[in-house]
Structures are given as structure tokens and as C-alpha cells.
Structure 1
């Protein structure tokens, strides 16, 4: 499994399935492996940022630059684990708490994937301005700054926070659990 050109054994599939909290079926893991091999054009056993950007849906995603920091250098096992955070089968808690390993840096990141998208300055807290930046990236010109601030203020207020609050992971989880935010991706099965 270290080299993208090798084939998956039943043991490999089960290991990857367990590593991703059994959020993907064996058939989905095999499909993901084929997609991983297509992306790993050089057969290095990991996917670089440039290879991720070759996926039009990823490159066009307004959060792609934030996500690139987390996905550059993922091997297959960690690629599936990363995607499992976006599985329709994952609970909101799993989506927020799921850990990503940044292979390129050689260090395991201790902050969950979704939290890291918002915590752009990597200080372990998410401030109003951090969430506002992501909302701006996502909404583009469809919303004014004032509308974004109003939506965000209301969302924070409903969860018991203010625009002055700095959210820890637990606080962030509470805010997201009170929202109707969807973070899902469907895995096509060949």
C-alpha cells in the first residue's frame, strides 16, 4: 500500500476501513484507491498539492487553498481518513473531531480537519474574523459583508456566544451542532 501502483489486499482494505472509522464500505475503499492512483501520477505513494489541484472540483472550491495545507502529501490510508470526515455516514462530532495527519510535515496534526479550515492562524482558537473569512470565501459576492456579519452573529448568539468570543474546539463544536451546516461528499462506486 506504500506504493500507489501496488494492489490492495483484503487486509489493506480492512486496515484502511478501520483507520477511517468504518465510514466507507470495502467497495468504496477500492473505488477511492483507483482514484488515488489516478491522482498519484508519479506513483510516489502520496498525493502532492499540485496533484490535488488537478481535480477541477477541488481547484474551484473556494476553500481549496486552506484545504491544501491539510492534504499535501497524504498517503492512501490518510487520504481515505481525510475523506471520511466528509462522509454522509459521519456524525457531526466525527466530522469536527476527525484527525488528519500531515505526512508532508512529518508531524501528526492534533487539531481536527474542519477546525483547521477555520483556524487559519493556527492559534488553537477560532475568532469571529476567522469564521467571517471562511464565510466570505464561500459566499463570494452573493452576500454583502454586513449580511455575512449578521448571519454569523445570529449563529453565534443562538449557541450562546458573541462576536467577541474566541472559540475552542468544544465551543466550535457547540456552534456547529446548532447549525444546519452540511459537510458531505459522495464516493462514486465503480
Structure 2
């Protein structure tokens, strides 16, 4: 970034403002916070530095959040946070949510992806079979259909056929979230 990792130049700010949902003042505030998080001065935030954020300490989803932010530089940090800006476009919010739920990064949200997220939320309070039923119902409620399989641990029997939920595409996400006020749910103040 600019001349060195500790300096944010006007050209950098202009570029970042143009590609994010944040104002110049917000970018400068985020940069100050980023520098405080980057305790070793590497120009990136690693998992241990990210875990120093007090607001995340009690969040059960912190392992997934850390996966998304681990090793990011300032521009990547802003790009990820941009989905939470007050002026973020709806598409950016949906992209972030989709990426959050697509744990394995294969471009779809599968039962296994949702199971990973739900497991973080419930910890060991539910057995695997109960959690699998809850995830299956959530996937069906979200609009996933069932598809026949050759079998496997994740499948269940339905009328003598092994089935699992069809993975959700980004288009499925968009369709299902079309009436959800994401700007009220996904927003941070800088």
C-alpha cells in the first residue's frame, strides 16, 4: 500500500473508495483499526490477530469468520467488510452471505456446508442425527429440492431411495432473499 505498509496514500484511498461502499473518512477509520489489529506490522491480519477483536470473542461463528478474513491485506479487508457498509449494494451483501455459507468454496451451498455452520452455532448440544434433520429441513425450507444418490453417509432413505438436498446455487440464494431487508441485518458502523 503506497510507500510502505504503515502509510495509506491519497491514491490508495481514492481507489478503495471507488471499489467499496465506504466513504473516505470511513476508509481512514478502517485503516486505523486495521493497523491496530495488525500487531506484527506484516500488512495482513492473521487468525491470532483477528481473534483479538473483543466483539468476536463470544461469537460462535468466529471460526468461520476467521477463515474468511485470515491473511487479508487492507484492500481485501475493506472488500470483505464492504458488504456491511451502509451504502453497500444488495449484490455485495448476497455475495458475502453466499461465500460465508459456501464453507468448502465449491460455488454451491450444500447440506455439508450448512451443517458446518449450524454445528458452530449449536456446538455439541445436538447429536449428529438431530443436527442433520434440522439442516435438511432448513435446506428444504430455503428452497433446496431433494435429489437421489448412490448412497453414502450424508444420505437418508425416502421411499426406498437414498436422497440428499440439492445444493443451493447463488441464484437460489438471490431468489430466496429477494424480500429480506439485508441492509438492516448486514450493517456495521465504522
Shorter-chain TM-score above 0.5: yes
What is the aligned partner in structure 1 of residue 186 from structure 2?
183
CA contact (8 A) 1:136 1:148 kept: no
Query: Greater Rg, structure 1 or structure 2?
Result: 2
Q: Note the residue ranges of structure 1 that are not aligned, 5 or more in a row.
A: 98-112
CA contact (8 A) 2:103 2:116 kept: no
Aligned CA RMSD, in angstroms, stands at 2.9
Q: Note the residue ranges of structure 2 that are not aligned, 5 or more in a row.
A: 147-164
1:146–1:131 CA distance, 2 compared to 1 (3 A): closer
Quote the Cα distance in structure 2 between the aligned partners of 1:71 and 1:40.
12
Deviations 1:140-170 (A, max 9, x none): 77xx85995597257424xxx4362211122
CA contact (8 A) 2:44 2:74 kept: yes
Quote the Cα distance in structure 2 between the aligned partners of 1:149 and 1:39.
35
CA contact (8 A) 2:118 2:135 kept: no
1:29–1:156 CA distance, 2 compared to 1 (3 A): same
Normalised to the residue count of structure 2, the TM-score between the two structures is 0.71
Quote the Cα distance in structure 2 between the aligned partners of 1:139 and 1:90.
30
In the TM superposition, what is the alpha-carbon distance from 1:178 to its structure 2 partner? Answer: 4.0
Quote the Cα distance in structure 2 between the aligned partners of 1:85 and 1:19.
11
Alignment of 1:39-118 (within 5 A): 39-97=37-95, 113-118=96-101
In the TM superposition, what is the alpha-carbon distance from 1:58 to its structure 2 partner? Answer: 2.5
Alignment size in residue pairs: 165
Quote the Cα distance in structure 2 between the aligned partners of 1:150 and 1:122.
20
In the TM superposition, what is the alpha-carbon distance from 1:38 to its structure 2 partner? Answer: 0.6
What is the aligned partner in structure 2 of residue 9 from structure 1?
9
1:135–1:179 CA distance, 2 compared to 1 (3 A): farther
Alignment of 1:133-144 (within 5 A): 133-138=116-121
What is the aligned partner in structure 1 of residue 172 from structure 2?
171
Deviations 1:71-94 (A, max 9, x none): 111111111111101223213322
In the TM superposition, what is the alpha-carbon distance from 1:126 to its structure 2 partner? Answer: 0.9
Quote the Cα distance in structure 2 between the aligned partners of 1:145 and 1:180.
27
1:26 aligned onto 2:24:
yes
Quote the Cα distance in structure 1 between the aligned partners of 2:72 and 2:36.
14
Quote the Cα distance in structure 2 between the aligned partners of 1:136 and 1:178.
27
What is the aligned partner in structure 1 of residue 161 from structure 2?
none
1:87–1:124 CA distance, 2 compared to 1 (3 A): same
